[in-house]
Amino acid sequence: MTAAGFMGGLGVERGQAAEPTGNAIANIPIPLGAAAFRDVGSKFKITDMKVFGVSLTPDSDRPYVFVKFETNAGIVGWGESTLEGKAGAVMACVKDFREFIVGSDPMQVEHHWQSMYVHSFYRAGPVMGSAISGIDQALWDIRGKALGLPVYRLLGGPFDSRGVRGYYHASGRTREELARLRENLLKHGITCIKTGIPGSYEWIETHATLRRAVRSLETLREGIGPEIDIGVDFHAKTSPSVASILVKEVEPLNLLFVEEPCPPENVKAMARIAKRSTTPIATGERLIASYSCRELIELGVVDILQTDINHVGGITALWKVAAMAEASGITLAPHACEGPIGGLATLHVDAAIPNFLVQEVCSGIEPGPKEKVWEEWLGFPAMRMVNGRFPLPDKPGLGFDLSEAALKKYPFGGTRPMARVFHKDGSVAAW
């Protein structure tokens, strides 16, 4: 059967479909609820699900969790479920969803999303959100390959065919370092960077600490000049009281945003910071599903949403967050600090939403060992910008090929916690 045959179409070959392997699905039970779609779904079936834990170094605190689906048409789909510090839990959660997905029609991604979210009863936290995210991305990869289009075209993009505007992480202390940084950014056509603030913060902070934090940003702005946008990640290590002071005092620096000025659970606490300053507030990397962004949008707290395609619920959920944000004039600058699959997946959404601002990648201006591995896996410099933009793939689906063999060199080294830091008195601090 041709690809067209799988769609119930007229006989023109599209995508990468091959002969179905009928025997492979003979023994797979039909998932609950799938029979209702026998007459209206496609003839594609998911025949297997594989979950990979991948540690670039044996002691990595964020092993990648990749999800792969195989289908009766030879098409495979890849997605990413990486959850920093919780690799084992998320791998187990992906496996828990096996019987929701294997044996079903990969085309009905919205149905599967709803089924995983609603039928899990407790709705989603980060572990389940990340599991759903990887599965959702893999389904979109299959959908794009089956329909013969890159995912950003399925979503109606691209808004800019030159690619997706991005930023690297960068900083510098001395005037000389910053002058070199500026030169380097301009040379590469990079229009935005992100940095953090030094040290950890008590509930209320001293004059010395507050000045040090503000001065570090003043130095950065002076050093790199006015043309390059600066995002500053507070990483929720400041209390609302401390953040309110800092966010207000950095107003003259015209930052692109301050990110996570306090932890994300209490929207009104973040609102208290936001309403006393003109500095744009960005948040959202720890939020799961579009539901979690509603109050932030309603209360006018957030200017820029940063939901992460590997946690929020994949392409489906990131697109919905963007649609909600669009109605209030809020832009998106999605978080991406995990592996290359989620990074590439997020570019597809970025390219197809009108309210896209800028895309993160947790890399420096010069590629490091991690980026070399990504290139070795995918055959191209994934998540590296050209003239300040991430190029868009032209291939159907998410736009890359990955072999299981390539991952074997980096076996799962086990789950490790993320960085753990403490105050001077031994009490627990955030980083």
Query: Least distance (Å) from another protein to the CB of residue 371?
Result: 26
Between CA 98 and CA 49 the distance in angstroms is 7
Distance CA 170, CA 181 (A): 8
Query: In terms of CB distance, is 160 or 176 closer to another protein?
Result: 160
For residue 163, the Cα-to-chain-centroid distance in whole angstroms is 17
**Ramachandran class of 77: left when φ > 0, alpha when ψ lies in -120 to 50, beta otherwise:** beta
| Structure-block tokens of residue 272 | 């208290």
Which residues make up the interface to another protein (CB under 8 A)?
3-4, 7-10, 12, 14, 36-37, 39-42, 107-111, 113-114, 143, 146-149, 153-162, 274-275, 277-278, 280-281, 290-291, 293-294, 297-301, 303, 316, 319-320, 323-324, 326-330, 352-354, 394
| Residue 192 parent element (H or E) | strand 192-196
Structure tokens at 191: 């229009």
Smallest distance from another protein to CB 167, Å: 20
Greatest alpha-carbon pair distance for the chain in Å reads 73
Return the half-sphere exposure (C-beta side, CA atoms, 13 A cut-off) of residue 205. Answer: 23
Q: Considering beta carbons, is residue 36 or 421 the nearer one to another protein?
A: 36
Q: Smallest distance, Å, CB 63 to another protein?
A: 30
- Min CB(9)–another protein separation in Å: 3
Half-sphere exposure in the Cβ direction for 190 (13 Å, CA): 25
Nearer to another protein, 202 or 295 (CB): 295
The Cα 4–Cα 1 span in angstroms is 8
Q: List the catalytic residues.
A: 235, 335
Residue closer to another protein by CB (options 42, 71) is 42
Q: How far is the CB of 339 from another protein (least distance, A)?
A: 24
**CB-CB contact of 135 with 79 (8 Å):** yes
8 A C-beta contact, residue 134 and residue 94: yes
Phi and psi, residue 267, nearest 5°: -65, -35
Is 338:63 a contact under the CB 8 Å cutoff? Answer: no
> How far from the centroid of its chain's Cα atoms is residue 135's Cα?
14
CB 258 within 8 A of CB 235: no
Nearer to another protein, 155 or 250 (CB): 155
Q: Shortest gap between Cβ of 261 and another protein (angstroms)?
A: 12
Give the nearer residue to another protein in terms of CB position, either 38 or 187.
Answer: 38
Q: State how far Cα 29 lies from the chain centre.
A: 33
